A = this chain, B = another copy of it.
Amino acid sequence: MATINDHFLKLTAGYLFPEIGRRVGAFQKANPDAPVIKLGIGDVTEPLPPAIVQAMHDAIDEQATRDQFHGYGPEQGYDFLRNAIAKTDYQDRNCNVSPDEIFISDGAKCDTGNFLDILGKGNVIAVTDPVYPVYVDTNVMAGNTGPANEQGEYEGLVYLPMTDENNFAPSLPDQKVDVIYLCSPNNPTGAVMSREALTQWVQYAKQNNSIILFDAAYAAFITDDSLPRSIYEIEGAREVAIESRSFSKNAGFTGMRCGFLVVPKELTGKASDGTDVSLHQLWNRRHCTKFNGASYVVQRGAAAVYSKAGQQQTRQLVECYMENASIVRATLKELGFAVYGGENAPYVWLKTPDRLPSWDFFDQLLANCHIVGTPGSGFGASGEGYFRISAFNSRENINEAMARLKKQFKTV
């Protein structure tokens, strides 16, 4: 009699974004003419940069000839891409990361979930609150939590609040934790960890033999040069941290699918007999056995990000979205909202008027302004009363959305 993974039954409601999709779908069905503007899910809208388009066309032409055809590639990714990443994202920024520590994948979401495959049961997991739901849900599925309480908090998980009360800088846990998820620039709050804060976390992890899963998917959006873009800018991080990145947001790859995970060779975990085991070796084995490499055409596109033209064009893309964020911030401030983020991140995080529950604000904004945002409570109990506005849209739509907000929330 085949049994199922009971841990799945602990998952509360649907995953956040499908739930948003459901509500928006129902609204659009009832109001087919309402011009809905989607600032909810952090999905890019601008076309792929020309250098990437050209590289992908060229790659397809290669696949159309026997002499240049590429079948199975290395599971870990092609050297042309691993080398480019190591040099541009790390070595040129004085981070010690070698190409063979970079594992190319079809996206950061997959990596952060799949990484749990190589970790043991019984690890104590810490997440910030609010948090990208995938960290939590994948730990629930893996059996690293108990059931959820009424606030949707899972037993056994250590939640580290990030609110305006601590200036969105989560405190070190007051107990020993084994695995820590940190995301900076932060999704959803738009906060960025300072070098000092990140150094404290690395020291904590060293002292407690913890592993940090550092999500740097939004690194390209940092405009303040004093802020760390990679955890490997911090001394000692190679012994305690893996880092996840994505081409989704900086290069418009949400539909293309490419990301990568950095797993330094120094990093170890404990086997049950107490020996130290290389996580790089375990991840390599996992990657080779359960994955077959990212698409060749997509990897060629990702590599074009690192060409001279690609660097310039993706920078323009990022600047375009950051200008949107700046417009959203300014408008919301003008309307009297308490506003956070949006300066080194493509997300603006606001407090709902009169601490209105997040989903109520979601429904009101959809009904009255035909704008889709993301309810803060969808990211965790401490997100209740907050709301995320994504800067990923065309300038035209951002301007139109801001005009609607001004009309709705005009203070005079």
Contact = CB atoms under 8 A, between A and B. Distances in A.
Interface in A28-71: 41, 43-48, 50, 53, 56-57, 60-61, 63-66, 69-71
A297 interface: yes
Q: Copy number of this protein in the oligomer?
A: 2
A124 to B, nearest CB: 9
A137 B286 CA distance: 9
29 contacts: A1-B178, A3-B122, A3-B123, A3-B271, A3-B272, A4-B119, A4-B270, A4-B271, A4-B282, A6-B120, A8-B118, A8-B282, A15-B285, A41-B72, A46-B69, A47-B66, A50-B64, A53-B61, A63-B256, A69-B252, A71-B254, A109-B290, A109-B292, A110-B292, A117-B141, A141-B289, A141-B290, A256-B296, A297-B298
A230 interface: no
B1 A289 contact: no
A287 to B, nearest CB: 10
Q: Which of A53, A288, A295 has the most CB of B within 10 A?
A: A295
Nearest to A64: B53
Given A18-B288, A57-B60, A285-B11, A2 B297 contact: no
Contacts of A53: 60-61, 63-64
Nearest to A109: B292
A293 interface: yes
A53 B6 CA distance: 44
